[in-house]
Chain A
């Protein structure tokens, strides 16, 4: 049900000039620096949630995400990555995420499928993020899965996402959309009969294969 089709060279054309991300994201992209975006939670007020001049929380009790990025995709699904750090003194559990960029966001873990490949599955119960520790979301490992994209996510765009924690804490952040050849893990959604998909929604947003 989540089968991904190969990128269609022709579809790359309207993608660049036509449909876009939500206007606000596109505008924000013009104004915001592209560097690692460290965000602060909306609820975790008080004790030193301030970031320093770099926008990065020091040892001051903040919950942050750095180096956030999303694999560019034309349609269907893609995945998001970043480095979460919990410098609060509270153990947290990342329980979900949401974004205007897709209908749904799932938390996924990647594991060996027993036959030499990797397959990914939804992480039941979310990802624990104990105080003082970090959670790395990366290709080939744990990641956010954006399902049913609202519009193409084009390289250089910025996507706005919100991480949801079990205690109600939310962490909004901006992720840079990057052309990326990897993150091709086989996805077996529950109930599917082997009609897996890679989590990239096709290879590259604007298609590398259109040279010939």
Chain B
């Protein structure tokens, strides 16, 4: 066979759909304008009807390629579906690599607003809506690919508070597919899963949601279904501090991170019985603005020494924030949380109004040194545990981002 011209190997980024027009609008908006679009869409809505241009978010695109995978430091969009996949028994190293090449090509196209190859619904791919596709590896995938897994890549130790269900736990491969629009997420995920199907079986699927675009200021802390501002202590994206907390610095996974995903059932019916003061004390922050009970604003440093008139700490020793921060243990660890809410139909036959909770997602450079001590403290004592129950748990190694001529995870599977 004649050797193909070298150009045959290069990606045809600009070759869009056959007419070259369906994807062009989305590309035109591009990554450069993402911040601007969000700013425009965020505030004007209440005062006056937004212009058509500022109201539309479909064209927003987040670059897929880069030093880090998108979907971690990039703003958390409104809709995300997390999927845990198990490799089929017969898939070997070569199969893993073939799968990752397919998923990479799909993700690169979808995030640009282009249909992947063989997309049977190409019109559903043209509004990327800030779509990101983030891929994580479990120990099973690393072993199948015949490469050493990071030593920390194991299930978390069993915690006393856990009531884990197999259907939300573990997995060889994780896909986080997120966008400002659930329809975009649905189509992107289906295209990815169609290519993963020959290699994997779906183990679990967890759809989640945050505020819709244009509802609150970009970057505002999410409110969870308990009504709490959730994530106030997060490191700020784009700062050296964020990099220090999140990105692995050395080794094959440099530029990657560790991901913990835990499904936390929240007992909204039980929470209904709790008055506002007790709710605030359980966490140690004010419900309205997220400020520490010691005063200030959401971003103020908490004063853990402050005591009330009768001598008790204002931010109680049992409070979630105090425990998470390690105040009384002389420790301090940080993680980056990027959670999503879930709110589903209740189990049939019971009296519950809903099956609700949080898909807790955290990223940290050092799973054992950062995440684990926090979780161990919260397992030991955290008033919030009374209304929350972990029912799923998984840990994944997030490989660094890839260049345009690489597939996801290429540097760690080489």
Contacts and interface: CB of A to CB of B under 8 A. Distances in A.
A36 B11 contact: yes
Interface in B75-106: 88, 90-92, 94-95, 97-99, 101-102, 104-105
A54 B101 contact: no
Contact of B18 (A100, A136, A206): A136
B120 A55 contact: no
Residue from the set A20, A205, A207 with the largest chain B CB neighbour count within 10 Å: A207
A38 B98 contact: no
Interface in B13-71: 13-15, 18
B15 A56 contact: yes
B97 A30 contact: yes
A55 B11 contact: yes
Contacts of B101: 29, 34, 156
A94 interface: no
B1 A156 contact: no
Given A72-B198, A155-B199, A176-B117, A33 B4 contact: no
B99 A36 contact: no
A17 B93 CA distance: 9
Contacts of B5: 39-40, 42, 172
Specify the main secondary structure of chain B where it touches its partner: loop
Nearest to A206: B198
A176 B105 contact: yes
A180 interface: yes
Contacts of B3: 172
Contacts of A162: 1-2
B406 to A, nearest CB: 8
A134 B18 CA distance: 8
A204 interface: yes
Contacts of A66: 12, 15
Interface in A66-121: 66-67, 69, 71-72, 81, 83, 99-100
B329 interface: no
Nearest to B15: A66
A55 B404 CA distance: 13
A190 interface: no
A173 interface: yes
Size bin of chain A's contact surface:
35 or more
B12 A172 contact: no
A173 B9 CA distance: 8
Interface in A24-59: 24, 26, 28-40, 42, 51-52, 54-56
Given A35-B108, A162-B2, A17 B11 contact: no
A173 B8 contact: yes
Nearest to B102: A156
B7 interface: yes
B363 to A, nearest CB: 27
B15 A67 contact: yes
Interface in A177-212: 178-182, 204-208, 210-211
B407 A34 contact: yes
A55 B12 contact: yes
Size bin of chain B's contact surface:
35 or more
Contact of A179 (B88, B92, B194): B194
Contact of B2 (A42, A52, A210): A42
A170 B3 CA distance: 12
Given A30-B97, A35-B105, A99-B1, A174 B90 contact: no
Contacts of A26: 94
A51 B10 contact: yes
B197 interface: yes
Contact of A38 (B8, B88, B91, B92): B8
Nearest to B98: A156
Contacts of A181: 194
A70 B9 CA distance: 16
A34 B90 contact: no
B106 to A, nearest CB: 9
B126 to A, nearest CB: 15
A83 B4 contact: no
B345 interface: no
A17 B11 CA distance: 28
A155 B102 contact: yes
A176 B195 CA distance: 12
Contacts of B198: 72, 154-155, 179, 204-208
B9 A37 contact: yes
Given A35-B12, A55-B7, A56-B13, A176 B102 contact: yes
Interface in A127-142: 134, 136, 139
Nearest to A183: B118
A1 interface: no
B401 to A, nearest CB: 15
A154 B95 CA distance: 9
Nearest to A176: B117
Which 9 pairs between the two chains have the least Cβ-Cβ distance? Answer: A156-B98, A55-B10, A35-B11, A36-B12, A66-B15, A34-B105, A39-B8, A206-B198, A38-B12
Given A35-B404, A204-B197, 14 more contacts: A36-B13, A56-B14, A66-B15, A67-B18, A69-B117, A81-B118, A160-B1, A173-B8, A174-B4, A174-B8, A179-B194, A179-B197, A179-B198, A204-B198
